[in-house]
Structure 1
């Protein structure tokens, strides 16, 4: 000890500073996750009029999760367990303080969430309540469809969105070209499938393709007219129709922007330590292909492909060695390969928390309910239209009154009346 001399205090000081530095810097660590996925394989939402696969031919009727869909989500849950439980981000056993699960109020999404959780949290230890059942009940929260602005915003009344959608249908050049290019094909489709010829093209194509897609997936015989060429054409129309729901900055804000805003708020609170419960680490949303498509549109990560069954978007917040925070967005749309990182425009890799906020801020409504209301210009336009319509109605009403008066005078042969030469078609 005596041999240490003056070097020992200096060495201890350096060691102390180094240890403090390591304590401050720490290792890169995952802080919070928000993820949203599409439900699993299902029966068709509806059948086309001439479809032989009517609702009673499907085990649970239309729009219901199949056993394959259950397997797909158990598989996704197992993947999430490997990604978040195995590294220690989440406890090995279920903790209601760490995870929160939300679903749309639809059978197939509620069941998908439960199947997913069976793979994420199979019971172990004191959570085993029945040794013959490798499953435990975990709460899944939901909101009524008409109130779910996060996961089904298109079903929540929004006058602004409705007006913008009508304008899109009337003026979008790409849609007009698509309708013109497929005019003859659509007429044939109406004959083949039994639709009315005045039906909306995109809606009709989507419903027809959905039915054929489900029937093909379940090894059912397709009608003779559903050739590979017809199938591919319907798929193109269906995909265009889906992303057309969210095209344009304003409509994107009012749909996918609401969920993106919730995710940003969650990670901000996690970063600042202001979550209602700081033990919360992951929020899971069980939803639909339209939900994922809307979120893709809001983030600017659209790849033009309909989100497949059990596809999952993961938004992850990390704390770096430096103490700064970064954000990564991952997409799992194929269970046979690892997920890949999405490139959000304006958000380089690595993307800092602030860069992510800057890149997405214009896509998030500050107050959706307020933005859904029609502005002064919109109201003025509606008032003008209403005024013109009211004026036309008054003119029509006056015309009818005059016409009736003329008829009565004519019948009395009032030769001095200015209506004497009026010719009425039903009197010929």
Structure 2
């Protein structure tokens, strides 16, 4: 399922250039697209995958915005070039995760505004190829499209990943033993061993009896006459 994009992308390009094979009809393309969209959605459902894959980019953007408000940087624009999976991960980290593969030339905008003495962040997503219109998103925890930078930072900063060394050395706690399941497993294994034992003994007994029948001497005609 997670490799569905490989086929879906190929068919999509072939459709653009009118090179689609005969089997890739409209129904097949719709099914491929649905599977592909679902794979992108489930790729970042886990909180750790959102944090590790999408967190670093938002962390960098958030740091740059805060530095700008303190006049520690004078850059007006910072652009990132990335893959569709990067956009999906970043959207998922922001809480904008719905089943879709970002189209070619998709773009995610995070703009910093200043009104009076307050700074605001606005998130917009251009999710189509043949349009220049980006759509604003209302982030969870914000009351308007223009979210105060202080609020934006407070929402997402606790979710930012630690250093690579820390993240890669985290250990998953061991799963506590389940005695009930262990007992069930023991009973099942014993039953399987018992049944296999009976089958093996029965098989050997069958072939042993057949071998004795083949090796036993046949009675001659003379023997029959003597018995008579």
TM-score by length of 1: 0.38
Match of residue 81 from structure 2: 286
Superposition pairs of residues 316-335 of structure 1, within 5 angstroms = 316-321=111-116, 323-334=117-128, 335=130
Match of residue 180 from structure 2: none
Partners of 1:206 and 1:332 in 2: CA distance: 20
Matched, 1:373 2:169: yes
Matched, 1:263 2:61: yes
Matched, 1:345 2:140: yes
- CA deviations 1:142-161 (Å, max 9, x no partner) are xxxxxxxxxxxxxxxxxxxx
Matched, 1:249 2:44: no
Aligned residue pair count:
174
Structure 1: 5+ residue stretches without partners: 1-200, 382-422, 424-428
Q: CA contact under 8 A between 2:58 and 2:90: conserved in structure 1?
A: yes
Match of residue 206 from structure 1: 5
**How far apart are 1:369 and its partner, in Å?**
3.6
**How far apart are 1:267 and its partner, in Å?**
0.7
Change (3 A) 1:368 1:247: farther
Q: CA contact under 8 A between 1:252 and 1:294: conserved in structure 2?
A: yes
Larger-gyration structure (1/2): 2
Structure 2: 5+ residue stretches without partners: 176-203, 205-228
- CA deviations 1:336-365 (Å, max 9, x no partner) are 352221111112213111111122224321
Q: CA contact under 8 A between 1:258 and 1:368: conserved in structure 2?
A: no
**How far apart are 1:284 and its partner, in Å?**
0.4
Superposition pairs of residues 194-233 of structure 1, within 5 angstroms = 201-203=1-3, 205-220=4-19, 222-233=20-31
Partners of 2:7 and 2:131 in 1: CA distance: 28
Flag as ranges the 4+ runs of structure 1 deviating above 3 A: none
Partners of 1:251 and 1:202 in 2: CA distance: 15
User: What is the SS of the residue equivalent to 1:255?
Assistant: helix
Partners of 1:248 and 1:346 in 2: CA distance: 20
Q: CA contact under 8 A between 1:312 and 1:332: conserved in structure 2?
A: yes
| Greater relative CO (CA pairs within 8 A, separation 6+) | 1
Root-mean-square deviation (Å): 2.0
Partners of 1:302 and 1:372 in 2: CA distance: 25
Partners of 2:172 and 2:97 in 1: CA distance: 33
Change (3 A) 1:314 1:210: same
Superposition pairs of residues 65-84 of structure 1, within 5 angstroms = none
Change (3 A) 1:369 1:228: farther
